[in-house]
Structure 1
Amino acid sequence: MGKLVGIYLRISDDREGRELGVERQEQDCRKLAASEGDTVVDIYKDNDIGASTRSKKPRPDYKRLLADAKRGRIQKITSYTSNRLTRRPREHEGQIELAETYGTEFRYVASPSFDLNTAAGRRIARILAANDAGEAEDISERVCREKLQALERGEWIGGARPFGYQGTIRDAYGNVINREEVGIKVIEHEAAMIKDAVQRVISGESLYAICQRWTASGVPTPRGSARWYPATLKRILTRPRNAGLMEHRGVVLENVKAIWPSIITDDEYLAVRSILLDNEHRTSYRGSRSLKWLGTNLYRCDVCSDLMRSAGISSSGSGGEKHAAYRCKHGLHLAVRAAPIDSIVNTYVCARLIKHGANLIEVPDGDAVDLRTQATSLRTRIRELEDMLGDGELSRAAFLRQRNKIILKLDEVNTDLASRASSSVLSGVADAPNPAEVFMNPELTPIERRRAIVDALCTVTILKGKKGRKPRHLEGDYRDRIHIEKKDAA
């Protein structure tokens, strides 16, 4: 009499799984069930999940399979091989308990089938379990060695598809197509999005505004989501891979060059990381969802030197008409209307743009070249120290002392390079034929970038108003409520 069968399918990254694929496993298991007169009740599938002691991923369908066997929904479990079910000795013991307690049978297409209700069958199962676990650990050690060697060669060692680069593509049988292009080949339209976003961040635009643009473009995230979020975008824009650098466990490998093409330059990479990861640049307006006023979290209070926030205040008591204003964050030190203050700041910035134009963004190329040369020399010195430590010519204490000094200097050079790349906040505006018109046009220069330009050209401080009522003709004059200090953008 036939049995009620549950077929378990699993594919992992080992050779067997790639060659067979879950579809072919299912076909062979169904043939075996039909040849024995069994009825297939359900298919249980865990795709691309390992079953060894080293695997950390849960197997939801394996758990469902065992639960269905315990409640009598299935009487027999069929799989392609015994190690498709598991490579873990503890789970083998669970299968033995399932057979002894519930009478569940196990059948395999390409592995010996044995009766777990007999001592001989349990002995064979345990021997195979130990062998499968040992084989899995051998595979794990070999894979670790191969990954370390691949890192030293600058190769991609796998993981989630990096946005901007080709991901893994499999055929119907689970075989990887064009394996040599995985993680290496640039996807041009995604790379163009990264380049554009990096320039927008450097120019002062917020991550939220860029995410809105990316979501509207219809290009999904690497995980297939239609909506982009600032945290996801930030991870993509600040990864070393974009500049052709190797990263392992959060550390950039200084002496290894990646084999894949870079999407952005080293200077752009340093600049975008400086903006998005440096605490000094983590001002709230970069992620604001409703930026309307130029000076929010940009202008400073003359009383406490803290940043000002925007708020609505009444023009005359509680019943008066409300208008936008800047208030001190820490209390009621002072408050001032937003529109006339912004008008004064806009006038000042436009005047500087018209007067100095492209001179505001001139950065001597020779200086940047010298800094890159200096950075390369410092990295070479670190590698020389590592060799001296390995050859026993240098003690570990001396190595650490000298290396730390060089790293501090390298950080200074990288910061300088980043600031030079960040000077492009003025590019396209200061060097335009009519820079003031471009600056004031919200379509050409979004408010995030206008704020960044203001921040690059001046420091704005809001002053306390003088006591007493102003003459009627001076009521709209707010020049005595603002102090603008010039910055040298270049």
Structure 2
Amino acid sequence: MPTRAAIYARQSLDKSGDALAVSRQIVECRELIERNGWEVAEVYQDNDRSATTGKARPEFSRLLADLSAGRHEVLVCWHTDRLYRRLRDLVTLLGVAEKRALRIATVRSSDLDLSTPAGRMVAGLLGSVASYEGEQKAARQVAANKQRAQNGIVLWTRRPFGFDRDGNEVKVVKAEAREIRKAADAVLAGATLASIAADLNERGIHTTTGSQWSVTSVRRVLLNPRTAGRVTSKGEDYGKGAAAILDEETADQLGAILRNPARKQAPPSTEVKYLLSGLAHCGREGCDDAVMFATSNPKGATIYRCLKCYGTRRLDLVDEVVMGMLVERLSRPDALDLLGADVDVAELRRQVVELRESRDAIAAMLTDRLLSPEAARTQAIRLTAQIDDLERRIRDASGADPLARLAQASDVAAAAKRMSLRERRDAIRALMTVRILPAGKGIRFNPEHIDIEWKRGQ
């Protein structure tokens, strides 16, 4: 009976998706089997599977099981590095060889008899060489990727939203760039990522993979350093690229808001349903600033009522006056002064710009070989740490504060409408104390019945 031979073929990366390299291996293995007068019992192939990453190779696992069961006498492969690159895989093969007189025949390298000490020694040496070559190849690839990033060349595997590539040149996709700018403006005005994702999906705008938008995908696009023209690789910043969608100041403000841990907290309680319930105070003499709460009157209208004197005012009219005064105050040129003089956010942002420029200069010097890679990396890490510290201080000063977001908005009224009820309450609480003054019976509502005591400025 002819010797039963199993064929194993593998390639790490199938760029075309046609498995042509695997097919060629199998053809040459069949020719070797025919020359030896053996019989092809079964073919095992792992296409687009690396032997060094540790990820599963289903066919290799099935092959080992069949060899252990004694279904094949010879294992044929194109080269031993197609079979194993890691010594742990060789150890597994040796375990099979102890049970079976396993022979490995190859097209392009030496045959191995794992049943003998000499054969196992040769296999071990070949495995060590293959492992070394794999590590060197990976190191060369990392270095090549780093050099391309430093030179502004990007070879992405999935096109980022807002950009496309013409050869090595990165270009902005105008329609997608408009969506990114629109989303950035919405976030700065107080909109949630969920509302932005819903809007994109409703208008039929998809991600570059054709998927629906989610909070995560919107956040990833807005925080991508490339949107501000940064070139990064493996977490290292190599300076400005040729294409940008957002200016650096806008990108910094987005980062301050979206990276703030406060955004990850659980949704606020739904117990508070009205703007000034528990915030407004009764201004009647003798009530001692008693807090007023929202309730309904016998006619079904929603009102604010003092629990001490039972005085009331229509809720919608009071809310309109208070929000109008809040928007008017934060629309003034000196609105940013209300954020406090302890942190000069504008000065911090100026320092961030200077540090970024210094880091860009280092990247340029590296490209021109005026600095060694190690020296450039050391300087870049130092500057990046300083930038991160300044951005943290900016974030702490204004990133999560609704009052700060309103004060920095170009359209305060629109920004206030986008805010949640809880955020509007927080802004009011930080800036003013609201008192509802008494009025005689039958007197119509007058905005002057609302007294505002400003906590910051006037």
- The normalised TM-score by structure 2 is 0.63
Q: 2:122 aligns with which of 121, 124, 132?
A: 124
Secondary structure at 1:11 match in 2:
coil
Q: 1:78 to 1:202 in 2, by over 3 A?
A: farther
Q: Determine the structure 1 residue equivalent to 2:211.
A: 226
Q: 1:405 to 1:62 in 2, by over 3 A?
A: closer
Amino acid corresponding to residue 139 of structure 2 in structure 1: E
Q: 1:408 to 1:115 in 2, by over 3 A?
A: closer
Residue 24 of structure 2 corresponds to residue 28 of structure 1: yes
Q: 1:201 to 1:72 in 2, by over 3 A?
A: farther
Measure, in 1, the Cα distance between the counterparts of 2:436 and 2:331: 36
Measure, in 1, the Cα distance between the counterparts of 2:260 and 2:95: 56
Residue 80 of structure 2 corresponds to residue 82 of structure 1: yes
Asked whether the equivalents of residues 155 and 258 of structure 1 are also in contact (C-alpha less than 8 Å), the reply is no
Secondary structure at 1:257 match in 2:
strand
Asked whether the equivalents of residues 212 and 228 of structure 1 are also in contact (C-alpha less than 8 Å), the reply is yes
State the Cα distance separating 1:269 from its structure 2 match.
0.3
Residue 285 of structure 2 corresponds to residue 345 of structure 1: no
In the TM superposition, 1:350-369 aligns within 5 A as: 350=324
In the TM superposition, 1:68-217 aligns within 5 A as: 68-71=66-69, 77-103=75-101, 106-156=104-154, 162-166=160-164, 180=168, 184-217=170-203
Measure, in 1, the Cα distance between the counterparts of 2:77 and 2:269: 52
Q: 1:64 to 1:109 in 2, by over 3 A?
A: same
Measure, in 1, the Cα distance between the counterparts of 2:271 and 2:213: 19
Measure, in 2, the Cα distance between the counterparts of 1:423 and 1:410: 19
Q: 2:222 aligns with which of 237, 243, 255?
A: 237
Asked whether the equivalents of residues 186 and 261 of structure 1 are also in contact (C-alpha less than 8 Å), the reply is yes
Measure, in 2, the Cα distance between the counterparts of 1:220 and 1:480: 51
Secondary structure at 2:46 match in 1:
strand
Measure, in 2, the Cα distance between the counterparts of 1:249 and 1:88: 25
Q: 1:118 to 1:283 in 2, by over 3 A?
A: closer
Unmatched runs of 5 consecutive residues or more in structure 1: 168-177, 304-311, 327-332, 392-399
State the Cα distance separating 1:241 from its structure 2 match.
2.5
Secondary structure at 2:244 match in 1:
coil
Measure, in 2, the Cα distance between the counterparts of 1:34 and 1:384: 58
Q: 1:270 aligns with which of 244, 252, 255?
A: 252
1:9-45: CA deviations, max 9, x gaps?
2324xxxx76x97611232244246544755756542
Measure, in 2, the Cα distance between the counterparts of 1:188 and 1:368: 31
CA RMSD of aligned residues (A): 6.0
Q: Determine the structure 2 residue equivalent to 1:397.
A: none
Q: 2:241 aligns with which of 239, 259, 272?
A: 259
1:118-158: CA deviations, max 9, x gaps?
44543432222122122122223333433444454455486
Asked whether the equivalents of residues 162 and 174 of structure 2 are also in contact (C-alpha less than 8 Å), the reply is yes
Amino acid corresponding to residue 20 of structure 2 in structure 1: R
Q: 1:105 to 1:479 in 2, by over 3 A?
A: farther
- Give the percent of matched residue pairs that are identical in Structure 1 and Structure 2: 19
Secondary structure at 2:19 match in 1:
helix
Measure, in 1, the Cα distance between the counterparts of 2:334 and 2:432: 24
Measure, in 2, the Cα distance between the counterparts of 1:43 and 1:216: 47
Q: 1:406 to 1:476 in 2, by over 3 A?
A: closer
Amino acid corresponding to residue 181 of structure 2 in structure 1: K
Measure, in 2, the Cα distance between the counterparts of 1:163 and 1:134: 38
- Equivalent pairs, count: 412
Unmatched runs of 5 consecutive residues or more in structure 2: 282-292, 337-343, 366-370, 373-380
State the Cα distance separating 1:73 from its structure 2 match.
6.7
Measure, in 2, the Cα distance between the counterparts of 1:289 and 1:212: 23
State the Cα distance separating 1:414 from its structure 2 match.
9.0
1:438-465: CA deviations, max 9, x gaps?
x5xxxx9964489878877885778799
Amino acid corresponding to residue 96 of structure 2 in structure 1: L
Amino acid corresponding to residue 210 of structure 1 in structure 2: I
Amino acid corresponding to residue 91 of structure 1 in structure 2: D
Q: 1:456 to 1:404 in 2, by over 3 A?
A: same
Asked whether the equivalents of residues 8 and 75 of structure 2 are also in contact (C-alpha less than 8 Å), the reply is yes
Measure, in 1, the Cα distance between the counterparts of 2:159 and 2:434: 52
Asked whether the equivalents of residues 204 and 425 of structure 1 are also in contact (C-alpha less than 8 Å), the reply is no
Measure, in 2, the Cα distance between the counterparts of 1:257 and 1:401: 14
Measure, in 2, the Cα distance between the counterparts of 1:403 and 1:109: 52
Rg larger in structure: 2
Measure, in 2, the Cα distance between the counterparts of 1:325 and 1:121: 91
Q: 1:344 to 1:259 in 2, by over 3 A?
A: same
Q: 1:202 to 1:69 in 2, by over 3 A?
A: farther
Q: 1:238 to 1:27 in 2, by over 3 A?
A: same
Q: Determine the structure 1 residue equivalent to 2:11.
A: 10
Q: 1:6 to 1:382 in 2, by over 3 A?
A: closer
Asked whether the equivalents of residues 432 and 455 of structure 2 are also in contact (C-alpha less than 8 Å), the reply is no
Secondary structure at 1:192 match in 2:
helix
Measure, in 1, the Cα distance between the counterparts of 2:269 and 2:71: 53
Amino acid corresponding to residue 9 of structure 1 in structure 2: R
Amino acid corresponding to residue 233 of structure 1 in structure 2: V
- The normalised TM-score by structure 1 is 0.60
Amino acid corresponding to residue 50 of structure 1 in structure 2: S
Amino acid corresponding to residue 275 of structure 1 in structure 2: I
